[in-house]
Amino acid sequence: MPSGEELAIVVLSLKVAVVAVAASLPFAIGVAWLLARRDFLGKTALDAVVHLPLVLPPVVVGYLLLLALGRHAPLGRALDAIGIVFAFRWTGAALAAAVMSFPLVVRAVRLSMEAIDPRLEAAGRTLGASRWRVFATVTLPLAWPGIVTGALLGFARSLGEFGATITFVANIPGETETLPLAIYAYTQVPGADVAALRLSILSVLLSLGALAASEWLVRRRKAASLDA
Amino acid sequence: MLEVDITVRRGAFRLEAAFASAAPIVALFGRSGSGKSTIVEAIAGLVRPQSGRIVVDGRTLFDAGRGIDLAPEARRVGCVFQDALLFPHLSVRANLDYGERLTPRAERFVDRARVIELLGLGALLQRRPTTLSGGETQRVALGRTLLASPRLLLLDEPLAALDAPRKAEILGYIELLRDEIALPMVYVSHAIEEVTRLADRLVLVSDGRTVAEGEVADVLSRADLEPYTGRFEAGAVIEARVTRHDERYGLTVLGFEGGELVVANLDALPGEPVRARIRSRDVALALEKPRAASFQNVLEARVESLGGDYGAIVDVQLTVGGVPLVARITRESAERLALAPGLRVYALVKAIAIDRRSVGYA
């Protein structure tokens, strides 16, 4: 059985990953829709910016976040004034995880949207549905498997986030010390191999659980649409 | 009343379409790639023309000059496509509900129960679109579009994906809707049988232009339009009425201005108006009335002109009591019979050349 300390680390990791995915998913769906369905000036630039975290070293992303949102950065100070603090808080860990996983989520959702016949959406329009209603009643439900896959990928990536997190919010036990950070810390201490291994096993179990949950979500959706 | 006068540019493709029709069903006829579907998409609001205007029953849907461009959902123009495009994640019932729920109650003029009964959808309501046959899919698509109470129905090659028996089935349903719901329709097709069965007016589309428009019978019997209507499809359309049935031999007699036509058994009541298409290659000519021949139809005709320069083949334009008919014969035969304008001849048509597929219920 995991100890109380281990449980706290797991709960914090889950909190960071869930918040990261939940907060970024609506934006990811929006960006995926723009990239899949609309033509506009700067589309290539948006595509490149979205993919940046995928190709940059995570430490660089973390450092850029620190520069932009640190206590002494102008934007960080402005947000601090209205009560939003990222630096050295668990919210910062969630932000780092969200930024790092964003391209994966966008990619999965975009692929599933591109697989939808645009004429199905056109058919919806001719039946009297506005662009928004078609998005909600045709595009979103048909893209559902991609959204679930994207959310799972984002969740897994968030659980594993290390470089950007440790650079942006450091390793503060109880605040920003997620599973990978804790495992890394144990490997730096002589004789803590067992502790590192126990956390690693917990990490594997969490990932398997996420995989099973997404599979269940996709199946349930398929069954539900039968009775819609 | 439908008025279309638009130009659409899409990459290298350029469409210039202009026609007006007050007929219940107007057909857009032409080869694939001629631009028929683009016209339909422009009327539905799915493609924006560069210039021109589209007016349905006095309501302007698009007018480049006045800056009017109604969104597709505001046009109340229903579409049925070749591949039906049912929503795969919804049941048949939910597909039918989709447009109906978005139509304000005051604007609904199509009775749901009636449509479900007419199209035989009652047993399909719980099914998913992926489990339906081709004919069922197209029936649901028709129903879904009708239940949105459109003011104009666009049918874009609705039969093209179906096999022959299903084609006949859906054609029957469309005829039923035309007679029961009285909704103006634009019917897009490259199959002449469908056009002659359903439509009253015909707009001929070729290479991104509307090249002719008029009554179906007139346009199809015009020799100068043959390059567009197609060589082997050429023929005449005769408006007729069922006179009587010959029960013993299973024949139906049709009366028209030029006389009588005997055809194989037709499923229509005496007095019912029908439209028979006689392909020019099914018409033979004789100078004397054949005495012992199998031809059921021997019509007294007058040669009006000879045309169609296809080398070995000549199209002979005839009138049978004022009704145009075309015979496609060899040049050798034409010379042997010394055919010339004004000559009296007999047009010979086999009864079985006019089959169920070429007769429509007008």
Give the pLDDT confidence score for residue B359 in this predicted structure: 66
pLDDT of residue B223: 65
Contact (CB, 8 A) for B89 and A225: yes
Both tokens assigned to B136:
């069922």
Alpha-carbon B277 to chain mean position: 12
Count residue pairs from A and B with Cβ separation < 8 A.
Answer: 66
**CATH topology for the B235-361 domain:** OB fold (Dihydrolipoamide Acetyltransferase, E2P) (2.40.50)
Give the per-residue pLDDT at A150: 94
What local confidence, expressed as pLDDT, does residue B309 receive?
A: 61
The average pLDDT across A145-172 equals 93
Q: What are the backbone angles phi and psi of residue B242, rounded to the nearest 5°?
A: -70, 125
Considering the domain B2-229, what is its CATH architecture? 3-Layer(aba) Sandwich (3.40)
Mutation choice for B interface testing from A125, A126, A225, A226 by most B CBs within 10 A: A126
Our separate counts of H helices and E strands in chain A read: 11, 0
Contact residues, chain A, for B81 at CB < 8 Å: 119, 123
Rounded to whole angstroms, the Cα distance separating A51 from A62 reads 15
How far CA A6 is from CA of A11, A196, A198, in Å, comes to: 9, 10, 9
Would you list the DSSP string of A139-203? IHHHHHHHHHHHHHHHHHHHHH--HHHHHHH---TTTT--HHHHHHHHHTSTT-HHHHHHHHHHH
Overall average pLDDT of the A219-223 stretch: 74
Confidence of residue A158 (pLDDT cuts 50, 70, 90): very high
Query: Please, which pLDDT band fits residue A116 given cuts at 50, 70 and 90?
Result: very high
Report CB contact under 8 Å: B87, A124. Answer: yes
Q: What is the CA radius of gyration of chain B?
A: 22
With contacts defined as CB-CB under 8 Å, which chain A residues touch B145? 126-127
CA-based nearest distance A211→chain B, Å: 24
Give mean pLDDT in consecutive 10-residue pieces for chain B, a chain of 362 residues. Answer: 92 90 90 88 94 94 94 94 93 95 89 89 93 92 94 92 82 84 88 84 90 83 70 72 86 88 81 83 89 88 80 86 88 89 91 71 55
CB A5 within 8 A of CB A86: no
The DSSP 8-state label assigned to residue B315 in this structure reads E
> What pLDDT was estimated at residue B352?
81
- Taking 70 as the threshold, does the pLDDT of residue A31 lie above it? yes
Contact A101, A54 (CB under 8 A): no
Binary contact (A126, B98; C-beta < 8 A): no
The predicted pLDDT at position A44 comes to 94
Question: Where in chain B are the domains?
Answer: 2-229, 235-361
| pLDDT score for A228 | 44
Domains (ranges, CATH) in chain A? 4-227 (1.10.3720.10)
